[in-house]
Amino acid sequence: MNGPHWLERTTDAGLGCYVHVPFCDRICPYCDFAVVRYEGAQLQRYLTALIQEVASSSREGPLQTLYIGGGTPSALPRASVQLLLATLFTRFRTEPGTIECTLEANPGRNEADLGSWRCAGVNRLSIGVQSFDDAELHRLGRAHTGAQAMAFYEAARGAGFTNVSLDLIAGVPGQTVDAFAQNLATAIRLDPDHVSIYGLQVEEGTPYARWRRRDPRAFCGDDMLAAMLECADATLTAAGYVHYEISNFAKPGFESAHNTGYWRQRDCVAFGMSAAGYEQGLRYRNIRDLEGYCAAIERAGSARCEEEHLEPEARLGEAAMLALRTSRGIDAQDFERRFGVLITDVFAHAARRCIAAGLLEQDRSGMRLTARGRLLANSVCAEFLEPQQTHVVTH
């Protein structure tokens, strides 16, 4: 399979860009993202603010990857997507078609816009399918059906998209391992280039959290969720996908260059409400509510509400945590080059504990999670957040 290999054309010294589009037709009851109900008047004000924020960025291009996420960016009117992309490509002196440019899309709407997105420079679609089962989709509060998800995928292929990713959720209330396996089988039959599998997280403050308090048995337990994720690993790997990150599978050459940049601490400028960026050790985030974001941009041209300058030790710990999410893991040579340390020194205690628990493996080339470690990744990654020695040099 000959993928676009955007990943091979990107470097750690390059620049990514994330743009947040918070609008959704309706808010799913499990969603904890920064989202608002789609409404025309708000949309216009938001787009104007977004374009002002892009224009006032001090960062120079070109970009290596561009990711329009949300929310539901595909719900924007066609002209708004075109304007937004043209603004970004022009501002960062980047030729459309020369970089990986992803748009997140939900099925059941705006199929007629697929061709215009391609013309505007989008060459990778990430489709929020979540399930092909109508009863599961209903419980998730999604607006589309399984048939609409399949039709949207086929329409994307028909419009010429050669790099398409599907998102599926594991652990939908009431879902069995067999039912989840059915979703995987349907996804594999469609033959996408990339599949993301997310275990359902129930976040406080959402309608799902209230539902789980009322009826905990409606939700799948840790063992069942682990069985689903193991099923995804076995099934997708057997179908030729590479499990290159905890939640992500790709045909060779179709790994997400944008997300890989994030896992490798590449600089990424970020625009829009709640958007989080990272530039030369500075991590920042914008205001999370729509009114606050727009008002701040209109008043001052910036909506940053959090900034954290990561000291070298913190960058090293974070780099380890992010690298462990990937199948490559912590690469010994790479860490020595980037931070001037031996991982066997700075992570000796954490590695010993995790290897003894069967969660990590280590050889001369580095350290990576075992299959069991992937299921408990958050606990393993937390062990690596604080390296042991302080003589870290960042390049």
User: Which chain residues interact with ligand SF4 by CB under 6 A?
Assistant: 24, 27-28, 31, 33, 35, 70-72, 106, 128
Comparison of 64 and 74: residue with beta carbon closer to ligand SF4 = 74
DSSP state letter for 64: S
CB atoms within 10 A of CB 8: 11
Comparison of 26 and 93: residue with beta carbon closer to ligand SF4 = 26
Comparison of 64 and 106: residue with beta carbon closer to ligand SF4 = 106
Whole-number Å distance between alpha carbons of 370 and 372: 5
Minimum CB–partner distance for residue 219 and ligand SF4 (Å): 17
DSSP state letter for 34: S
Comparison of 201 and 333: residue with beta carbon closer to ligand SF4 = 201
Comparison of 27 and 181: residue with beta carbon closer to ligand SF4 = 27
Comparison of 33 and 231: residue with beta carbon closer to ligand SF4 = 33
Comparison of 71 and 173: residue with beta carbon closer to ligand SF4 = 71
Which token pair is 242?
């590479």
b/e 221-230 (16+ beta carbons within 10 angstroms → b): eeebbbbbbe
Minimum CB–partner distance for residue 200 and ligand SF4 (Å): 11
CB atoms within 10 A of CB 4: 16
Minimum CB–partner distance for residue 274 and ligand SF4 (Å): 11
Minimum CB–partner distance for residue 26 and ligand SF4 (Å): 7
Minimum CB–partner distance for residue 175 and ligand SF4 (Å): 16
Whole-number Å distance between alpha carbons of 83 and 363: 49
CB atoms within 10 A of CB 113: 21
Minimum CB–partner distance for residue 191 and ligand SF4 (Å): 24
Minimum CB–partner distance for residue 255 and ligand SF4 (Å): 23
Backbone dihedral region for residue 34 (phi beyond 0: left; psi -120 to 50: alpha; all else: beta): beta
Q: Do residues 111 and 148 lie in contact, with contact meaning Cβ atoms separated by under 8 Å?
A: no
Q: What is the dihedral of CA 333, 336, 338, 340, to 10 degrees?
A: -170
